[in-house]
Structure 1
C-alpha cells in the first residue's frame, strides 16, 4: 500500500510543480499581452516638435514689425509716385523745349 501511496504523493507533487509552472507561463503570457496593448492605447506620436504658444510680448513685437513694415511700404510707394510725377514733368518740359527748337525760337 505504501507503494501506491508514494506514487500518489509523487504525482501530487509533480502536479503542484506543473501547476506552478503553468501559472508562471500564464502570467508571462498576460504580461506579454499587456506589453503589446500599451503602445496601441497611446496616441500616435507625430514626427515634428510642437511649439509652445506665443507670449503676448512676441505678438506685440510681431504687430510692431508689421506696422513698421507697412509704413515703410507706404513711404516707398509715395517715393515711387513722386519720381513718376517728376519724370512726367521733365518729359513735358523737354518736349516743349524740343518743339521750341524745331520752330526756331
Structure 2
C-alpha cells in the first residue's frame, strides 16, 4: 500500500489495534473525524466560486438624483434663453423687413 489517505490510515490503525479497547476507540474516533473533515471539504465551495464583488441595489443614489435635477434645471434655463433669443431675432427681422419695404416704396414713388 502506497500513499494512503487519512481515512485509510485510520482504518489500518483500527485493524492493527483490535486487541486494545482504548486504542480501538481512539482509532475509531480519529477515523470518524477524518470522514467528517473530508465531507466538509467536499461541501465547502472553492474560493473561486465565492462571490467577491459588492452587490448594490439597482436604484440611483441621492447624489445621482441631485445631479440629474441640476442638469435638467440648467437645460431648462438654456432652452428658455434660446427661445427668448429666437423671439427677439424674429421681432428684429420683422422690423428690418418693414423698414426696408417702406424705403423701397418711397424710392419707387420718388422715381416716378
Deviation at 1:52, TM superposition (A): 5.6
Match of 1:72 in 2: 74
More helix by share: 1
Match of 1:83 in 2: 85
Runs of 4 or more, structure 1, over 2 Å off, are 41-46, 49-54
TM-score (norm 2): 0.48
Determine whether 1:25 maps to 2:3: yes
Tell me which of the two structures has the higher relative contact order, counting C-alpha pairs closer than 8 angstroms and 6 or more residues apart.
Answer: 2
Task: Specify every segment of 5 or more residues in structure 1 that has no aligned partner in the other structure, as ranges.
Answer: 1-21
**Aligned positions, number:** 70
Aligned-residue CA RMSD (Å): 3.3
Deviation at 1:65, TM superposition (A): 1.2
TM-score (norm 1): 0.51
